[in-house]
């Protein structure tokens, strides 16, 4: 009878050892998660990429990465296999290559971790690789990405400045040094040259060209404003003349007929048959009229 009871209990217990995805437990009544799962928020969830085994306690073996370490790396030069992302560029490999290139440099071609402008220039903070095209890998920052971030839960790793406050969190949890963090954030976002150009590429020609362009634009604007003012003055003067000519009347000058005044012609002497002659002066006219 006892053996029958043991067999019956074993039969009832075995199904509970299977993983139930709807609950997230290996239901052995102890609430322990299955391998490659971790208990979080009241249930078991799959391990993050790059980890496996119980409670996600182990990283992927060498040359394996991704979900449950199921993918294999096949990395090219300057790259290493990252457990979570696969092949990524290795700052230390690049630094060793850079040191070797600079020490024995003979060609005009720039070394790794350099950008060619008027001369070969080292990559600015946060970028590495050929022509400085690659940003720092995760959790790295600074010159040649050799610095390692060690940020708290409310911070993010900036490729240039390291740990900065994460502004996606609620306002109530903003850090006390918010002003400093804002300054660093805006500096990180807006002081980097456009299209990831290195800051050393901006030489003296750029500000001189900008200054000349601004001066030329100001000169053209001043000429246009002066021309507009001159045109406005001429227009106002013409309008004033028109107003005067249409509104002013001459009222104090008496109007007379020309016929009211005697002519300065000598009256013809019809009896003597002499031809009329013009008086030479007004006095001559008066003398003749008084006769």
Do 144 and 101 reside in the same domain of the chain? yes
Residue range(s) defining the domain that contains residue 163:
151-190
Whether 169 maps to a domain, the answer reads yes
Quickly state the pLDDT bin for 55 (edges 50, 70, 90): confident
Average pLDDT of the residues in 5-32:
48
pLDDT at 236: 76
pLDDT for 138-158, tens place per residue?
A: 889 999 999 999 998 888 999
pLDDT exceeds 70 at position 131: yes
Compute the distance between CA of residue 38 and CA of residue 32 in angstroms, rounded to an integer.
9
pLDDT, greater one: 258 or 58? 58
- Dihedral sign of CA atoms 141, 142, 145, 150 in order: negative
pLDDT at 42: 82
Is residue 196 within 8 Å of 217, Cβ to Cβ?
Answer: no
Do 101 and 134 reside in the same domain of the chain? yes
pLDDT exceeds 80 at position 86: yes
Average pLDDT of the residues in 193-201:
46
Q: For the whole model, what pTM was predicted?
A: 0.42
Q: How many domains does the chain contain in total? A: 2
Whether 60 maps to a domain, the answer reads no
Do 103 and 138 reside in the same domain of the chain? yes
pLDDT at 13: 41
Whether 78 maps to a domain, the answer reads no
Whether 206 maps to a domain, the answer reads no
Quickly state the pLDDT bin for 225 (edges 50, 70, 90): very high
Whether 36 maps to a domain, the answer reads no
Average pLDDT of the residues in 186-192:
44
Query: Could you say which of 79, 114, 148 is where a domain stops?
Result: 148
Average pLDDT of the residues in 70-87:
90
């Amino acid at each position: 009878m006892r053996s029958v009871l043991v067999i019956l209990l074993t039969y009832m217990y075995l199904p509970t050892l299977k993983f139930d995805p709807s609950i997230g437990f290996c239901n052995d009544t102890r609430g322990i998660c299955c391998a490659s799962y971790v208990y979080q928020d009241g249930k078991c969830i799959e391990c993050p990429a790059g980890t496996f085994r119980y409670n996600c306690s182990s990283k992927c073996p060498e040359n394996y990465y991704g979900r449950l370490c199921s993918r294999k790396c096949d990395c090219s030069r300057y790259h290493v296999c990252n457990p979570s992302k696969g092949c990524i560029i290795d700052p230390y490999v690049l630094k060793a290559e850079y040191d070797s290139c600079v020490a024995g440099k003979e060609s005009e071609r720039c070394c790794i971790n350099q950008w060619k402008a008027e001369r070969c220039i080292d990559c600015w903070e946060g970028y590495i690789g050929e022509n400085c095209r690659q940003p720092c890998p995760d959790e790295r920052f600074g010159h040649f990405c050799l610095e390692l971030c060690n940020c708290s839960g409310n911070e993010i790793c900036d490729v240039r400045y390291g740990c900065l406050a994460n502004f996606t969190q609620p306002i109530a949890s903003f850090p006390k040094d918010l002003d400093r963090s804002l300054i660093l954030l805006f500096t990180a976002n807006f002081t980097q040259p456009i299209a990831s150009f290195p800051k050393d590429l901006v030489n003296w020609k750029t500000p001189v060209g900008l200054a000349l362009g601004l001066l030329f634009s100001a000169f053209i604007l001043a000429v246009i404003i002066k021309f507009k003012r001159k045109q406005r003055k001429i227009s106002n003067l013409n309008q004033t003349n028109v107003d005067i000519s249409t509104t002013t009347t001459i009222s104090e000058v008496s109007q007379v007929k020309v016929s009211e005044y005697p002519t300065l012609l000598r009256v013809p002497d019809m009896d003597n048959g002499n031809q009329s002659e013009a008086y030479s002066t007004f006095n001559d006219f008066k003398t003749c009229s008084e006769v």
